[in-house]
Amino acid sequence: FMLLDSFQYYMESRGFKVIGNNAYGSERNFPVQAVLLSGRRNSGMLNINFTTIGNTIKSVKKELKYALKGIGSVSGINERITVALKVNEDSLQMNYMSAVNAVIEVFSTNCIIPPKACPVCSQDNCDVMAAYGNSYRPIHRRCLEGSLDNIKIKAEDNVQNGSYLLGILGGILGCVAGCIPSILTIWFAESIYSILYALIPLGAYYGYKLFRGKLTKASIIITIVLSVFGVYLIEFILLNLVVMAEYGVPLSICLPVTITWLAYPEIWADLSISAGSSFIFVILGIWIAWGHISRTAKAEVKSIECVLDTVNANPAYNYSKSSDNDANVS
């Protein structure tokens, strides 16, 4: 077997739901997502993501590092704690169990418990677990299916009633907002930060979405076009700032003059040459923000439908408590 085959076989034997290189399940009631990262044919990296209540990594990181010494490294964000370890076909099972036992022992010592509240309704006694939001966690099946229905309704409404015109208007406003940090750093700090250029496509996309723009494949093209527009906008604003500083004229006098310059192809050529590195940065920004700006209405429906594939029974579910609640409701 290749490592991926061994990973899938082993995780399935532990009752995990396996989808490609991801496995979803639980260890002693803690929701766990295991991800086998690409590597050589017979070796690679395994990330084990544990979900807890709240931001627990700060209080136990030192203990986890000590407990995982020689096994793997640990990191965390919010309620998710991630253990990364090297594995091959021979060490996969042993390393996985060593990491799980070490982490849960620290959890037990520090009275850290698995999450109970549903992310949708905030009630406990969830009957299933699913990859919802940024972590694998307990959730009520009815709440998960209700979220899917709501997203489908919103997607259908967007396709039927969304407006490209209003979306473009919002996209322009969002693009302008996304350009401001880059303009400020270029003018005042005399520095260009490539990461700030990711704010341009993000601003354009969320502005488009906020103004109820129709989220189809065309919205992706519109966002990209507006991102390129943002580069020229930055250069045009910087041009005005230079003219104002050099000649000591206010914006009210400068702007009408520089706008007339846009009628000349030479100005556009100069702006394009001046923006050479900015075009590279905005392409990088589009790549960084692609996971957001490529989300069409259909893509959002598909993403939550994929969540249904990760559903597992919650071992902490109390059937008798659920029955009592149903009886009280009736």
Q: What's the pTM?
A: 0.74
Tokens of 129: 């677990």
Nearest-angstrom CA–CA distance, 184 and 244:
16
Strand partners, 24: 17, 33
**Beta carbons within 8 Å of 5's beta carbon, 6+ residues apart:** none
The pLDDT of residue 321: 66
Burial tier of 41 (Cβ tally within 10 Å: 0-12, 13-18, 19+):
exposed
pLDDT tens for the chain, 330 residues long, are 588 999 999 999 999 999 999 999 999 999 999 999 976 667 889 999 999 988 788 889 999 999 999 999 999 988 899 999 999 988 999 999 999 999 999 999 999 999 999 999 999 999 999 999 889 999 999 999 998 888 888 888 888 899 999 999 999 999 999 999 999 999 998 888 888 999 999 999 999 999 999 998 899 999 999 999 999 999 999 999 999 998 898 989 999 999 999 999 998 998 899 888 889 999 998 998 888 888 888 887 877 778 889 999 999 898 766 655 554 444
Strand partners, 37: 45
The backbone torsions φ and ψ at residue 161, rounded to the nearest 5 degrees and listed phi first, read: -115, -5
Which CA distances in Å does 230 have to 91, 185, 194, 203, 237? 51, 15, 14, 10, 10
Tokens of 280: 């590279």
**Cβ-count burial 261-290 (b if 16+ within 10 Å, e if not):** eeeeeeeeeebeeebeebeebbbebbebbe
Contact 182, 197 (CB under 8 A): yes
Query: Residue 176 region, left (φ>0) first, then alpha (ψ -120 to 50), else beta?
Result: alpha
The pLDDT of residue 298: 81
The pLDDT of residue 306: 86
Look at the block and give the residue holding tokens 């253990």: 83
